[in-house]
């Protein structure tokens, strides 16, 4: 059996979080034909690192929410919510008006946010989601969130939707551009999982064409870390689990029987079920494969 890279960066959440595989994200922007991570936002304008220095982008950039390795160790308390056809991360109300013969949508929310650790220059992203992808990603700087003190954040976003009742969800990022955990963190994970599987299918197609009639080991494409409830009893040291990877690069089964605690085991299974691979090739064709993965706790 082959071994995938070690899994690091485990973190804890409050009890009761049950969701699809974890999906930490990072905000990137296209700047001078390069994809750069946003480190902070001033009002609506992002800062990126160029040649080792923070650079402010004042023109309206094109944003992308992409996969990240993990979350910030901070936590922001916000209300849970549902909205439209899609579950949202931050409480919001939206309404629709006929305006000049068309349909316009306004998203408004006023949400108290309480950060566990101070966030001085954080920002929030609001993604307008459709069945085929993000219609738009709106970015806005946040006021300072002092540790333990609730701050009311009010935002209003106007959108010309491509579908009736477009869904939206909001994500919070800290001073370094890392996504911050919230109580309803998991509500968008299923959307990201669907998007990533569609991307994987295209990548597998190119991968097979690149290695015709060739044997090739499977390649990890996305390996999110588990998020454990605060009540979970974690093992110590290294524990090996086994994944059954299908021909399309998705995980069909996770054998984590070596983890004794039920809560910890379920969190590991939840996360590793969302791992994606460029599959094992035999004579240029994707094949089912079992891989042993050492997890370091």
Judged by DSSP in three states, 222 sits in strand
CATH number of 25-67+72-180: 2.60.40
Check whether 95 has a pLDDT greater than 80: no
Please report how many Cα atoms fall inside a 13 Å half-sphere around the Cα of residue 6, on the Cβ side: 8
- Which of 85-94, 219-228, 271-280 is the most confident on average? 271-280
Check whether 82 has a pLDDT greater than 60: no
pLDDT of residue 26: 94
Cα 218 to Cα 291: distance, rounded to the nearest angstrom: 9
Check whether 108 has a pLDDT greater than 80: no
Do 25-67+72-180 and 2-10+199-296 have the same topology in CATH?
no
Q: What is the pLDDT of residues 30-56, one digit of tens each?
A: 888 889 999 989 888 899 998 889 999
Listing from the earlier edge strand, what are the strands of the sheet with 53-56? 53-56, 45-50, 34-42, 25-31, 63-67
CATH number of 2-10+199-296: 3.30.2420
Please tell me the least confidently modeled range out of 7-21, 77-91, 164-178, 182-196. Answer: 7-21
Give the mean pLDDT of 136-144: 88
pLDDT of residue 279: 97
Nearest C-alpha neighbor of 272 from the set 202, 220, 198, 203: 220
pLDDT of residue 16: 35
Nearest C-alpha neighbor of 199 from the set 132, 245, 125, 269: 132
Cα 58 to Cα 44: distance, rounded to the nearest angstrom: 9
Strand-pair partners of 56: 47
Strand-pair partners of 245: 251, 289
Q: What is the pLDDT of residues 176-221, one digit of tens each?
A: 999 999 887 777 787 788 889 999 999 999 999 999 999 999 999 9
Check whether 97 has a pLDDT greater than 60: no
Please tell me the least confidently modeled range out of 7-11, 139-143, 175-179, 293-297. Answer: 7-11
pLDDT of residue 158: 63
Nearest C-alpha neighbor of 279 from the set 243, 250, 240: 250
82-104 burial: b if 16+ Cβ within 10 Å, else e: ebbebbbbbbbebeeeeeeeebe
pLDDT of residue 128: 75
Cα 139 to Cα 42: distance, rounded to the nearest angstrom: 10
Domain boundaries, the chain: 2-10+199-296, 25-67+72-180
Looking at per-residue confidence, does 169 or 203 come out higher? 203
Model pTM? Answer: 0.76
């Amino acid at each position: 059996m082959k071994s995938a890279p070690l899994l690091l960066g485990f973190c804890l959440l409050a009890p009761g979080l049950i969701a699809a595989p974890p999906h930490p994200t990072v905000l990137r922007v296209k700047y001078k034909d390069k994809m750069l991570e946003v480190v902070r936002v001033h009002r609506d304008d992002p800062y990126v690192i160029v040649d080792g220095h923070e650079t402010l982008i004042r023109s309206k950039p094109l944003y992308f929410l992409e996969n990240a390795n993990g979350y910030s160790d901070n936590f922001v308390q916000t209300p849970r919510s549902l909205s439209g056809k899609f579950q949202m991360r931050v409480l919001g109300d939206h309404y629709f008006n006929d305006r000049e013969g068309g349909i316009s949508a306004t998203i408004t929310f006023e949400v108290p946010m309480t950060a566990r650790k101070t966030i001085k220059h954080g920002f929030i992203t609001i993604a307008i989601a459709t069945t085929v992808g993000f219609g738009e990603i709106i970015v806005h700087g946040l006021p300072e969130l002092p540790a333990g003190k609730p701050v009311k954040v009010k935002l209003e976003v106007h959108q010309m939707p491509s579908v009736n009742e477009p869904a939206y969800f909001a994500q919070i990022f800290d001073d370094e551009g890392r996504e911050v955990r919230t109580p309803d963190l998991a509500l968008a994970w299923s959307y990201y999982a669907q998007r990533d599987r569609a991307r994987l299918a295209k990548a597998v197609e190119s991968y097979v064409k690149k290695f015709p009639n060739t044997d090739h080991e499977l390649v990890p494409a996305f390996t999110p870390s588990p998020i454990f409830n605060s009540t979970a009893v974690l093992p110590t040291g290294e524990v090996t689990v086994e994944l059954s990877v299908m021909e399309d690069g998705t995980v069909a089964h996770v054998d984590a029987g070596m983890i004794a605690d039920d809560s910890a085991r379920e969190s590991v299974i939840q996360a590793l079920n969302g791992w994606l691979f460029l599959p094992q090739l035999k004579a240029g064709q994707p094949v089912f494969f079992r891989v042993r993965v050492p997890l370091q706790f």
